Structures are given as structure tokens and as C-alpha cells.
Amino acid sequence: MTLTQCTAHELLALYRSGAASPVEATQAVLKEIERLNPRLLAYCLVDEAQAMANARASEDRWQSHRRQGTPVGALEGVPASIKDLVLTRGWPTRRGSLGVSPDQPWEIDAPAVARLREAGSVLLGKTTTPEYGCKGETNSPLTGYTRNPWNLERTPGGSSGGAAAAVAAGLGPLAIGTDGAGSVRIPAAFCGNVGMKPSFGRVPAYPLSPFGSVAHLGPHTMSVADAALMLQVLKQPDARDWTALPPDGSDYTVGLDDGIRGWRIAYSPTLGYARGVHPEIAAALDQVAETLQALGAVVERMDPGFEDPLEISTGLWFAGAWQVWRQLTPEQQAVADPDFKAQALIGETCSADALHTLNQRRGLLGSHMRQFMTRYDLLLTPSVAVPAFEVRPPGSVPMDAQAMLGWTPFSYPFNLTQQPAITVPCGLTRDGLPMGMQLVGPMFGDALVLRAAKAFESTRPVLRPAIGA
């Protein structure tokens, strides 16, 4: 196995023994970025000089650790990337937009970035996103089309598509993504990775998203163990986020291998309303349910009993898009992604009364799911209803609620309810495209989600894409 295909845990073990160094791992990843990024467009910014300087500093700390036992960070020397929606000191955060000038002070680290630095991670650069994270595929007038490492004609999903493509292709084992309606989980499922949306507020954010309390930050990784380790780092408190949850005192890396015997899992292949689930995905999820049962869980086929909240999710999103749009200059609007413009203009028509009604309906959904989850430890669903579809240009599909999110009916409900949810690979289609299964936990049940995901992951071989020279 090459260093670029190592998980964070594997790299840390190599560093601990002295069999490899952060410098060697970072050099290998940077070389792979140079080789593959022109085709994938996973990164919109790579800072080789800073990455190597940080890698050398990490190597010094590891040498001191091996000689004298001095402490090292939890992610000491592990390469990582930052989605281009998340503020990063010294690097432009252009949000996938031609309208955001890079020529301005960039002096702030968002909490997640600050925590990665404190943990010793080697930051490589910024990963691509559609403009303002506006859709479940990654294309924009700024960066062009990001492609899926499993098939370059397919999308990696979005809006954390650059993060997903990078992790899948071995361009850094850890990535920070954001998830407002599935934006970590959709691309993770499309690219065969692990992606987690924690409970809202578990990972502090600053500034808060213009799309409000549906927006989460979470880890995008090669393995569940890496997701647990990364989330353990990211969840540390930051006073800048007034919506953040108080520290829960748990360690997500402890008890990961304790299994799920006796757990109650509701299995809902359609949530009671999803149509057009790809038959291979449906068959794969039946097998996942059987696997979880073989691991000792009590799996019951049960829909949670709510109607499709597509109108709620897209209505709130379109209203948020309008709030961003109305603050742009005419010059910025003129170069905007047509999909983002279309969303904003729909949002312009949302009255205060309509917005209030949407939030009331959201509250009822959240209450319903809180009650449903008193009967079950977890809910199992597909991650996405379809495999990765073809790369397509911005504005190629007329924008409405169905076009935006209708093909991913399993993701957005749990942004509305704020529950933790994770996607884990569960096989490939006959066309060689990844499929994902989703585990949803009760609010604040992040540790449960990780533990069950790890149990399932342990039953399957790790599959990575082969990208030619």
C-alpha cells in the first residue's frame, strides 16, 4: 500500500514506529495532487510550501516523541484539506464564486480549521465547491467541473464534491466538508468514502451559515475510525459559535469495536415516500440489513411515518439563497452560477408568513423524529437513491425543488431534524459506481452512529478507485 492510500490511523502508526514520516507522506500526496488534480479538479488551491513547512515541523515533533516521549497532536502530520466554504487563515475562501475576490485579508481560521491546526494536521489546500454550496453536484463558473475518481464522466456529488474526490483519489485522507441538505453524505456515497453529518452544533462553526441551522460541518474520510478520530478533534469547544453544543465529555474513538448486539434498528428503504430508488441500491440495502442482523442487531422494517419534507428543505434553502443574493453587487450577480441565481429568485417569492410556516412544519418533523427514535437506536436507509450521474454544466436543468434535491430523498430530512447521520460504502453497481448506506441516530447519538458504522464496515473489504497514469 502506498502512503497516499493510507488512512489517518495507518499514517499515525507509521509515524509512531518511524517507518514513515510526515514529510514523506505529504510529499507523496502532493505528487499525487499534481498528477491527478488537473483531471479531477478536487482542489481549487494547493499550498505546497506551507504544507511542507508544516510537515517538517510535525516530523520534528515525532522525532522528539520517539526519543523523549514528548506529546504529539492527535492528527500530528496527517494531511487534510478544507472545503472552500470554510474560512482558513492565509488562504482565500472564494466559496466557488467568481464574485469573491481573493485579494483581501484572510486572517481568520474557522473553529474546525483551528482545531485541525492544533491537532498537528498538515493542511494541503482548499477543495472545490459549487457557488455557495448551492447544489448536490460540484460545478461552478469559478472552478469548472469536478469529476468522480471512479468514473471521470460522472459527478462526485456535492456540495463537498472536491473533498470527496480528494479523499477517494488518495489526495489526502481527511477533509472538512459542510452539509446543508446532504453535502457531506451525497459525495461520500458517490465516491465510496465515509462521510458524517454530526448532530447540529456538535462541531462549532464561525461564521454561522447563511442557510441557518440546517448547515453542519463534518468529517470526510477513508474509514469510520478516521471519522471518529477527526470528529473527536473537531468537536472541541469554540466560544465564537453561540449555537454549539456543550462538550459531551465522550471520546468517540473509545468503544468503536464493541459491536451492536441487541441494538434496535429500524430499516426504511424508502422512508415511506421515495420513488425511483435504483434497484441495485435497493438490493444492496437489503443485504446491509441482513448484515446488521447477523451482527446481533434487531432489525425491523419500519418507516418513520412522515411525509416528504422536500418543500420544507428547499423552501428554507431558497430563502437563504435570496438573502445571500440580495447582498451581492450587480457585478457579482452578473458572473454568478445560473443555478444559484435561479434558487435565489425562487427564494425572493417566499414571504415572511410562508417562511414562518416552513419553520413550524420543520419543528413538527423534528418532534416526530425525536419521538420515533425513542423506540430505536438507529434508522437505516440508503444514502442516495441513485448512483453518481453524469457531469453536467451549471444551468443545464431548470431549477425547482425536484431538480435540486428530489433525487436525494434520504439526506435532507435529517438536516431539518439535526440528527447525526453517516454514510458508509456498501458495494459497487454493475457499472462500477459506489453505493452507500446511511445510519441515522437519535439527536446527540453521534457515538452510536459511529459504533454501528464501524461494525458494518468491518464486514466489507475496502474498495478504492484505480485512476490510470
Mean pLDDT value of segment 23-30: 98
Reported as a single tens digit per residue, the pLDDT across 378-411 is 999 999 999 999 999 999 999 999 999 999 999 9
Q: Which residue has the cell 502512503?
A: 3
The CB density around residue 304, as the number of other CB atoms within 10 Å, is 21
* 31 confidence band (pLDDT: 50, 70, 90): very high
- pLDDT band for position 1 (50/70/90)? confident
Overall number of domains in the chain: 1
- Calpha distance 222→212 (Å, rounded): 29
The answer as to whether 465 is a domain residue is: no
> 407-426, pLDDT tens digit by residue?
999 999 999 999 999 999 99
Is residue 192's pLDDT more than 60? yes
The cell for 213 is 441551522
- Report the candidate in 376, 383, 410, 384 with the shortest Cα–Cα distance to residue 299: 376
Task: Give 390's strand partners.
Answer: 154
Q: Would you state the pLDDT for residue 468? A: 59
90-116 exposure pattern, b = at least 16 Cβ within 10 A, e = fewer = ebbbbbbbbbbeeeeeeeebbbbbbbb
Rounded Cα gap, residues 182 and 309, in angstroms: 14
On whether residue 385 sits in a domain, the answer given is yes
324-337 residue pLDDT tens: 999 999 999 999 99
Joined grid coordinates for residue 211: 442557510
pLDDT tens readout for residues 79-112: 999 999 999 999 999 999 999 999 999 999 999 9
Beta bridge partners of 75: none
* CATH number of the domain residue 59 falls in: 3.90.1300.10
Q: What confidence tens digit (pLDDT) does each residue in 446-468 have? A: 999 999 999 999 999 989 998 85
Catalytic residue positions? Answer: 83, 159, 183
Does residue 469 register a pLDDT over 60? Answer: no
Q: Could you write out the three-class secondary structure of the chain?
A: CCHHHCCHHHHHHHHHHCCCCHHHHHHHHHHHHHHHHHHHCCEEEECHHHHHHHHHHHHHHHHHHHHHCCCCCCCCCCEEEEECCCCECCECCCCCCCCCCCCCCCCCCCHHHHHHHHCCCEEEEEECCCHHHCCCCCEECCCEECCECCECCECCCCCCHHHHHHHHHCCCCEEEEEECCCCCHHHHHHHCCEEEECCCCCCCCCCCCCCHHHCEEEEEECCHHHHHHHHHHHCCCCCCCCCCCCCCCCCCCCCCCCCCCCCEEEECCCCCCCCCCCHHHHHHHHHHHHHHHHCCCEEEECCCCCCCCHHHHHHHHHHHHHHHHCCCCHHHHHCCCHHHHHHHHHHHCCCHHHHHHHHHHHHHHHHHHHHHCCCCCEEEEECCCCCCCECCCCCCCCCCHHHHHCCCCCCCHHHHCCCCEEEEEEEECCCCCEEEEEEECCCCCHHHHHHHHHHHHCCCCCCCCCCCC
Q: What is the CB neighbour count within 10 angstroms for residue 258?
A: 10
Query: Is 466 inside a domain boundary?
Result: no
Q: What is the pLDDT of residue 4?
A: 98
What average pLDDT does the chain have?
Answer: 97
User: What phi and psi values does residue 242 have, to the nearest 5 degrees?
Assistant: -75, -10
Q: Is residue 21 pLDDT above 80, yes or no? A: yes
- CB burial class (10 A; 0-12, 13-18, 19+) of residue 246? exposed
CA distance 339 to 146: 16
Whole-number Å distance between alpha carbons of 185 and 160: 9
Expressed as residue numbers, the domain containing 288 is 3-457
Q: What is the pLDDT of residues 241-277, one digit of tens each?
A: 999 999 988 999 999 999 999 999 999 999 999 999 9
